[in-house]
Amino acid sequence: MKVAVVGATGMVGTVMLNVLQERNFPVSELILVASERSAGKEIMFKDKTYTVVNLQDAVKMRPDIALFSAGGSTSLEWAPKFAEVGTTVIDNSSAWRMNPDNKLIVPEINASQLTEEDKIIANPNCSTIQMVVALAPLHEKYGIKRLVISTYQSITGTGVKAVRQLENEFDKKEGDMAYPYQIHKNALPHCDVFEEGGYTKEELKLVRETHKILNDPSIGITATAVRIPVVGGHSEAVNIEFENHFEVSDVRGLLEESPGITVQDDIDNNIYPMPFYAKGKDDVFVGRIRRDLSQANSLNLWIVSDNLRKGAATNAVQIAEHLVAHNLVKNDVLV
List the chain residues with pLDDT less than 50. 334-335
Q: What's the confidence (pLDDT) of residue 333?
A: 60
Q: Is 234 a catalytic residue?
A: yes
Q: What is the pLDDT of residue 121?
A: 98
In which residue ranges of the chain is CATH 3.30.360.10 found?
127-307
Which residue is catalytic, options 234, 245, 322, 326?
234
Could you give the CA distance from residue 95 to residue 221 in angstroms, rounded to a whole number? 22
The whole-angstrom separation of Cα 127 and Cα 138 is 18
Among the CATH numbers 3.40.50.2020, 3.40.50.300, 3.30.360.10, 3.30.43.10, which is that of 127-307? 3.30.360.10
211 given a catalytic annotation: no
- pLDDT value for 332: 65
**Which pLDDT tens digit goes with each residue over 25-59?**
999 999 999 988 888 899 999 999 999 999 999 99
CATH architecture of 2-123+312-325: 3-Layer(aba) Sandwich (3.40)
Which entry of 126, 184, 245, 326 is annotated as an active-site residue?
126
Q: CB within 8 A of 294, min separation 6: which ones? A: none
User: Could you tell me if 73 and 50 are in contact, meaning their C-beta atoms sit under 8 angstroms apart?
Assistant: no
Closest CA to 75 of 26, 132, 127, 33: 33
Q: 223, 310, 196, 213: which is closest to 260 by C-alpha? A: 310
Quick: pLDDT tens for 272-329: 999 999 999 999 999 999 999 999 999 999 999 999 999 999 999 999 999 999 999 9
